[in-house]
Every structure is written in structure tokens, then in C-alpha cells.
Amino acid sequence: MKRLLLPILFLTGVVAAYAQPKATVAPPSFTAEDEITITVDVTGTSLAGYTGDVWMWAWISEGCSANCDAPTNVNPAGGASTEKAKMTRVSANVYSITIVPSAFYAKPPSEIKKIGLKLKSADWGDGKQSDTDVLINVEPLVFTPKVNRIFPTKVTKDDVVTLYLDQTIATVPALKYELSNFKVTIRAYNEANAEIGKIENAATVNAGNGLHYIRIMPSFNFSSSEVRSIKYRFSSTGSNVQSDEFSLVFFQ
Amino acid sequence: MNYYRSISFTLIALVLLCCQPDEFPALGAREPIVPKLAGTWTLSKVVQRDNDAERKGFPSFAQLQDITNDFAFKDFKLVLSVSGNAPATFTVQAGNSPNIIGSGISSGNWSVDDVNYPSKITFSGSSGTSIELGSFAGLNNGEMIFKLIRTQPKAGVPEAVVTYQYSFTKE
């Protein structure tokens, strides 16, 4: 038994030396555009028991081609440049931080597929860190077709906006299989939600494959700078088939 | 034989002695850009870009659209005048086109951020919109590109959400 004791103690020491920080993310599934809270338990790492300030050293480990470190990766930490990476101590050995990955890493979401992080004291030289890398997958931003897709996705009243009707993904069979062309009626509303203009039964472009669209520039088409939102509905030129009424609010 | 050899040596010596390094001509003064902007410019193409969709890596049809023919954009004319090498006045002849400079702005003064290296044009009364000079490359061929970038604040920092590229040709 005595012969076994030494190797057991040695192995225990090795395991303890390589204890990994436990990280959780809320929400567990997220994209680079979502706000997330990362919580890290550093129990068993060389940062355990540390009572000073702690920062996150972060990088993009997959999807990025150049300059993949977070802009806050400055050593020693402590100035304004690292403020956004400062961790909040939730309890002894447990730290959290809330970020939006695309803003934190200053990269477009398409370049953020997996993020990596370590927690550390102000200076690497302190020897106080979470030892092993924490790697977290980031869900891709997926283009999701909609019956009433618009282009572009964010518009002001002064922008050209394309209002689509995609029959192929309509759930109502009458709309999905309607063979006629479509017209559209658009109502414009001001800040007080009062109707200030109407375009009635305007022809849409039949782009084929069940896709129909109309392009408008709200302030131009309604001759008003008061337009804040629109409501619109497509209807078939050959029958009584109608779409739902869709609404669109313009950003200022 | 010696005759030909001596002739050859003489010719080689002459060629080597005649070789002198070329002198590069002086670069000269930089041609001013602003006077090249003067004239009547007609809108010939409008492309709209969804910067948000681009950042997210959405399909190309969700990122970019040519909207030239959906409004009477080709009616739009912009007349720029200069005073020497400096910007002076402008006139908009929108016809049936939306006024891309700004609704209700038909004339006024224009200015550039840098007379020697202009990258942005400001039309009086069009505060709130930034119209960038997309490229100088075509100016000598009577082509000019404007970019209008619509931004929205994100975490306190303006972020491009929609960009229009207006291509003009000179009359």
C-alpha cells in the first residue's frame, strides 16, 4: 500500500495542477449579436483564492483570419482600455462578465465562430490565471426567409425599401398556391399612429418562383416627412386571396 | 579576323559608354481634384447595400440590390460649380427622382472636407447625412461615385446599416 501511496499522491497533484475552470454561458445558445453573460468558476486553478481584480483575456479561436485578439487584451490590465474586460466577482472563485461578442471583439458576426478566454490578474507575471483555455461555440447567424421579408433589414423613412411577398413559404394554402399576380395596399402612419397616407392596389413585380415585390421610399411616396411606420397587405389580382397585414416601423 | 574583333570591341565600348542612367522627370504639382468635380452630373446607377446583412454573412441577394430602374433616378442631375480650385454652389434638378441630396434642397453651397484630398462632400442644408466621394478614379473620364451611408448607434458607436452607391456621369 505504501508503494501505491506515492504514485496516487503524485497523480492527485497532477490532476489538481490541471484543474479546468468551469464556464457557463447564458443563454447557452447564442449568436455573435446576442448579449451573453459568461460565468467562470476558477476553483482548482492558480487563480483560486485570489482577491484582487480579475480581467478576461479573450480571443476568437475560430472564424477570424487576422487581429483575432479582443481589443481589451492589454497586459498589464488596469486602464480604460481593459475596463470592458474586467470581471465581476460573483462569489469567491466565481466571476462573470456580460458582453455582445461582435461589439466586444470589434469583428463582424461572420468572423466569430468560436471564442476563447482565460481569466487573469492584472499581470501575467503574477502567475494568477485560470490556467486552461475556455472555448465557447458561437451559433452562426442564419438567413431565415420570411413571407414578408424586407430589404434592407433596417430602414428609415428616407430609404428605399423593398417589400416582398414570398408565396413559397406561406402557410395558408390559398396564398401559397395562388397563380395570379399581386397588388399591395400600403398605409402610412405618423408618430401618433394616425394614418397620413395610403397607396391603394399598387402593382407588384412578379419576380417568378412565387416571389413578388414592390419598392417604395416612404417619405417620397407619401410626400411626408412625418412617416414613422407603415402597414401593408398583398392581395391577388385574380381572386380574393390576401396576405396577412404586415407592419414596418422605421428607425430615426 | 583581327579586323572584325577590333570592330566588335569598338562597338561594345561605344554602347557601354553611351549607357547613362535615365533621369526621372520631376513629378510636378498635384492636379487639383475640386475643379474636376465641376459640371453637370447625371445619376446613372444606384446600388443599395444592407450592411447589417453583409456583417452577418447573409446570402448575396440579401446584401445588395441594384435599384436604378425602380425610381426615376436617372432624371437626377447635380450641377456643381467651383471658384478657382474651391467648391462654390450647387443646383439639384431632381425631375421625377427622389432627391438624394435631401428632400427640399434644390440649391446652395457645397464644400469638401479637404480641398487637396477630398473624401466627403457637404451640401448646405443636408446636415445629418454624410455623402462620401467613393472614388476619384473615373473623374478624368467623366465618372463620379458618391456614397451615402446611413448609420445607427450600436453600443454608443455609429454603425453603418444601409449604404447607397450613386454613380454619376458628366454631361
CB–CB of B62 and A143 under 8 A? yes
pLDDT at residue B129, rounded to an integer: 54
Chain A residue closest in CA terms to B58: A143
Q: What mean pLDDT is predicted for residues A5-21? A: 53
Interface test with A, best of B48, B61, B157 (most A CBs within 10 A): B48
Residue ranges per structural domain of chain A = 2-137, 150-249
Q: Would you call A215 and B67 a contact, using CB atoms and an 8 Å cutoff?
A: yes
CA distances from A158 to A91, A154, B84, B86, B162 (A): 50, 12, 35, 30, 11
The sign of the CA dihedral A211, A217, A219, A221 is negative
B55 and chain A in contact, CB less than 8 A = yes
User: Does the pLDDT at position B80 exceed 80?
Assistant: yes
Provide the pLDDT for residue A94.
Answer: 96
Q: Is B159 on the interface with A (CB under 8 A)?
A: no
Chain pair A-B, CB pairs under 8 angstroms? 72
Three-class DSSP category at B167:
strand
Whether A2 shows a pLDDT value over 60: the answer reads no
pTM: 0.72
- Partnered with residue A232 across adjacent β-strands are A186, A246
Contact (CB<8Å) A153/B150: no
User: In this structure, which topology does domain A2-137 adopt according to CATH?
Assistant: Immunoglobulin-like (2.60.40)
Chain A contact for B72 (CB, 8 A cutoff): no
Q: How far is A113 from chain B (nearest CA, A)?
A: 12
Where do the domains of chain B lie, and which CATH numbers do they carry?
34-170 (2.40.128)
Asked whether the domain spanning A150-249 has the same topology as the one spanning A2-137, the reply is yes
Cα separation, A42 vs A35, whole angstroms: 23
Grid cell listed for A27: 443563454
State whether residue A143 sits within 8 Å of chain B by CB. yes
- What's the CATH code, domain A150-249? 2.60.40
Q: What is the tens place of the pLDDT at every residue in A211-239? A: 999 999 999 999 999 999 999 999 999 88
pLDDT at B56: 84
C-alpha cell at A71: 481589443
Closest partner residue to A141 (CB to CB) among B48, B56, B161 is B56
Condensed to tens digits (0 to 9), the pLDDT of residues B18-32 reads 666 667 666 666 778
CA A246 remoteness from chain centre: 24
Sheet of A229-236, strand order: A195-203, A182-189, A229-236, A246-249
Q: Tens of pLDDT along A29-53? A: 888 988 899 999 999 999 999 999 9
